[in-house]
Amino acid sequence: MNFKQLIQQGIPSVLPAKKEHDLTINHAPKRKEILTASEKKLAVKNALRYFEKQHHAILAPEFANELATYGRIYMYRFRPDYQMKARPIHEYPHQSEQAAAIMMMIQNNLDLEVAQHPYELITYGGNGAVFQNWAQYLLTMKYLSEMSNEQTLVMYSGHPLGLFPSHKDAPRVVITNGMMIPNYSKPDDWEKFNALGVTQYGQMTAGSYMYIGPQGIVHGTTITVMNAARKISTANNESKGKLFVTCGLGGMSGAQPKAGKISGLVTVVAEINPKATQTRHSQGWVDEVFDDLTALMQRINKAVATKEAVSIAYQGNVVDLWERLVSENCNVDIGSDQSSLHNPWAGGYYPAGISFEASNKMMAENPVQFKQEVQKTLIRHANAVNALAAKGMYFFDYGNAFLLEASRAGADIVNSDGTFKYKSYVQDILGPMCFDYGFGPFRWVCTSCDAADLAVTDQLALSVLEEMVKTAPEEILQQLNDNIVWIKDAMKNNLVVGSQARILYADAEARIKIAEAFNKAIKSGKISAPVVLGRDHHDVSGTDSPYRETSNIYDGSSFTADMAVQNFVGDGFRGATWISLHNGGGVGWGEVINGGFGMVLDGTEDSDRRLKSMLFWDVNNGIARRGWARNEEALFAIKREMNRSPELQVTLPAIVDEHLLDGLF
């Protein structure tokens, strides 16, 4: 059978041969054993629902064994043998071009080069699933190959519930991941209900088929680091030669040295795991590696003196580095940390004075002592940060729970009013400088899979931004200019892995203008095939998350999720090709609700109408909410949008004189 026939076949009626467990592939860790005996039976019974009865006697013990060995039933036997990768859109069997584009995006999320645990259908973040098992993948692809533009495919946490009649302007796919009755949204609930096969953790772009590999994280980190540098500079372009010190060369943190270099800084990143250091060094994301602190200090001093943009790894514990910087009276300009402190007791953070190997042993054999060592180290870590901050260093929390865990360890990191001494990257940087103005991670993918099309889209996006910058208000000039620099260098930075995709930060006006330009170019044949638009969920309106995306909302509403839910619904009836809503993502199950969309542009007038309507809502919904929360930048942006768009009427807050409240309670 060829590729098209294999897709159309769906779940095969003849059982494919069992597969060897390939240890050269990065597999998901064994999940916690949490089900009772009767629940395990239910999990196997649930899994067997996908298969003809005649196969049950063979599959039942096999699935029971997968559950016992891996903590989940992945149905490994059914993983297809064809190469998993984004293919040009015409290679997918289809009745609907929109559905074919979605098949391409699904395959990209499961590409061996892109996905973290591809055989367990996990794209990133350890648990960010596209599907729970291979039967769901096969059935979904079959439905997509058959569906028309008068149908909608309904996805319940990876399970394709079926094709339902709808209409051409409805989304082709509606996805929900991990939607729980609120009381059942603790981490162990995920373990249990995922093991039963009835829910999954979609993270953000994993469960919504919108992941584009490392490019997204490099761009986001660059925007953050660049703006952190600006916070400490008196005039533009003063970041050259400033010293940025941080920790982590892992999955996301590994983007820090690349971002620091793009921003013109002297970047020093500590990493305890030699494998992680080697990976980033061999990729060229970090220029030089030192394991000797004396030699490192000399190198830092030279780079700062000559204002050299360079990225340097310190192979060792970050606390040793911080303490040396203090003892040498070094002036650090910017500090942060991206160890995995959201997971402090199982390898997210390594204690000082103990080797990497000995730490790994201790965390398994003596977890109580390990925890004490981590907490002692966190106190030293915070003390060194405080000493350098007292000399003028700007320190920010990178959404990794550094401040939270340091405070729990008893470190001197909390003010008398209970707030932390330092702000988070969203409170201080991304929130007020980007999200509140509507700037967020807009992205697109060329369904031709042709780099030449991507180059055309880069040029079109650049022209739009260059045109906008001529008349843009002062408040957003910098954001536009940053993205002009980014898109000019985008090809050079060589970050395309998997599909031909691009990301940049844009506001509603820029997103709409760029999309219009793409649609016209598809119509004229300048771009050879449809383009998929989308975004990261870590955006203006897509995510309600009180400790991250909405941490700069101070009216108490950061614990509500109306914005993300409204966004998903509104995108759905304004023309998105697919929409998704997730529980969990980044900060954990039960801690965040986030959503996203995909939109296929095919050069038609229908596409033109949809893109204007949907992109307008997708950004301005969040700005309106941020404005109602009294965020100044958002009030500026929404008032400007109301001037530009007479049909938009947003409720604006009356600002209270604070002194009226004094003495009331």
Ligand X SMILES: NC(=O)c1ccc[n+]([C@@H]2O[C@H](COP(=O)([O-])OP(=O)(O)OC[C@H]3O[C@@H](n4cnc5c(N)ncnc54)[C@H](O)[C@@H]3O)[C@@H](O)[C@H]2O)c1
Question: Least distance in Å: CB of 271 to ligand X?
Answer: 5
Q: Which stretch binds ligand X (CB under 6 A): 238-246, 249-257, 406-414, 478-486?
A: 249-257
Binding ligand X (rule: CB under 6 A), the pick from 340, 427, 567, 613 is 340
For residue 442, give the H/E element and its range: strand 440-446
Distance from C-alpha of 342 to C-alpha of 345, rounded to nearest angstrom: 9
Binding flag, residue 535, ligand X (CB under 6 A): no
CB 598 within 8 A of CB 501: no
Binding flag, residue 396, ligand X (CB under 6 A): no
Torsion of CA 196, 198, 203, 207, to 10 degrees: 130
Question: Least distance in Å: CB of 495 to ligand X?
Answer: 15
Binding flag, residue 268, ligand X (CB under 6 A): no
Our CB check for ligand X shows the closer of 197 and 585 to be 585
Our CB check for ligand X shows the closer of 262 and 522 to be 262
Binding ligand X (rule: CB under 6 A), the pick from 155, 276, 300, 637 is 276
Binding flag, residue 157, ligand X (CB under 6 A): no
Question: Least distance in Å: CB of 303 to ligand X?
Answer: 20
Q: Is the dihedral of CA 570, 576, 581, 584 positive or negative?
A: negative
Which DSSP symbol is given to 18?
P
Residue nearest to ligand X (CB): 250
Binding flag, residue 317, ligand X (CB under 6 A): yes
Question: Least distance in Å: CB of 581 to ligand X?
Answer: 20
Our CB check for ligand X shows the closer of 323 and 633 to be 323
Binding flag, residue 626, ligand X (CB under 6 A): no
Our CB check for ligand X shows the closer of 185 and 317 to be 317
Helix locations, 391-440, DSSP H? 402-408, 425, 431-433
Q: Which stretch binds ligand X (CB under 6 A): 150-158, 347-355, 384-392, 511-519?
A: 347-355
Distance from C-alpha of 82 to C-alpha of 107, rounded to nearest angstrom: 11
Our CB check for ligand X shows the closer of 323 and 509 to be 323
Each as own residue / partner, the long-range contacts of residues 641-649 (CB below 8 Å, 24 or more positions apart, any chain) are 641/508, 644/509, 645/616, 648/620
Binding flag, residue 532, ligand X (CB under 6 A): no
Give the list of residues 6+ apart from residue 488 with CB closer than 8 angstroms, or none.
462
Binding flag, residue 334, ligand X (CB under 6 A): no
Question: Least distance in Å: CB of 216 to ligand X?
Answer: 9
Residues of this chain, 68-87, that bind ligand X according to CB under 6 A: none
Binding flag, residue 339, ligand X (CB under 6 A): yes
Binding flag, residue 312, ligand X (CB under 6 A): no
Give the list of residues 6+ apart from residue 11 with CB closer than 8 angstroms, or none.
50, 51, 78, 135, 138, 139, 142
Distance from C-alpha of 314 to C-alpha of 246, rounded to nearest angstrom: 10
Question: Least distance in Å: CB of 406 to ligand X?
Answer: 12
CB 174 within 8 A of CB 572: yes
Distance from C-alpha of 268 to C-alpha of 157, rounded to nearest angstrom: 41
Torsion of CA 203, 205, 207, 212, to 10 degrees: -130
Q: Which stretch binds ligand X (CB under 6 A): 113-121, 193-201, 343-351, 606-614?
A: 343-351
368 class by beta-carbon count within 10 Å (0-12 exposed, 13-18 middle, 19+ buried): exposed
Binding ligand X (rule: CB under 6 A), the pick from 71, 399, 584, 622 is 399
591 class by beta-carbon count within 10 Å (0-12 exposed, 13-18 middle, 19+ buried): middle
Instruction: Give the binding-site size for ligand X (rule: CB under 6 A).
Output: 29
Question: Least distance in Å: CB of 456 to ligand X?
Answer: 29
CB 536 within 8 A of CB 255: no
Q: Of 80, 71, 78, 69, which is closest to residue 51 (Cα–Cα)?
A: 78
Binding ligand X (rule: CB under 6 A), the pick from 158, 202, 248, 590 is 248
How much of the chain is in helix, strand and coil states, percent to nearest 5? 45, 15, 40
Binding flag, residue 249, ligand X (CB under 6 A): yes
Q: Which stretch binds ligand X (CB under 6 A): 31-39, 64-72, 287-295, 334-342?
A: 334-342
Binding ligand X (rule: CB under 6 A), the pick from 63, 131, 349, 589 is 349
Question: Least distance in Å: CB of 535 to ligand X?
Answer: 15
Question: Least distance in Å: CB of 384 to ligand X?
Answer: 12
Residues of this chain, 208-247, that bind ligand X according to CB under 6 A: 217, 220-221, 247
Question: Least distance in Å: CB of 381 to ligand X?
Answer: 8
Distance from C-alpha of 334 to C-alpha of 351, rounded to nearest angstrom: 23
CA angle 559, 565, 567 (to 5 degrees): 115
Q: Which stretch binds ligand X (CB under 6 A): 69-77, 338-346, 515-523, 642-650?
A: 338-346
Q: Which stretch binds ligand X (CB under 6 A): 64-72, 77-85, 233-241, 333-341?
A: 333-341
**Which segments within 238-369 are labelled E, that is strand?**
243-247, 266-271, 288-290, 310-315, 334-335
Map residues 539-578 to x or -, x wherever contact with ligand X holds by CB under 6 A. ----------------------------------------
Binding flag, residue 586, ligand X (CB under 6 A): yes
SS (H, E, C) 483-539: HHHHHHHHHHHCCCCCCCEEEEEECHHHHHHHHHHHHHHHHHCCCCCCEEEEECCCC
Give the list of residues 6+ apart from residue 330 with CB closer than 8 angstroms, or none.
243, 297, 300, 388
Give the residues lining the site for ligand X (CB under 6 A).
217, 220-221, 247-253, 270-273, 276, 317-318, 338-342, 348-350, 398-400, 586
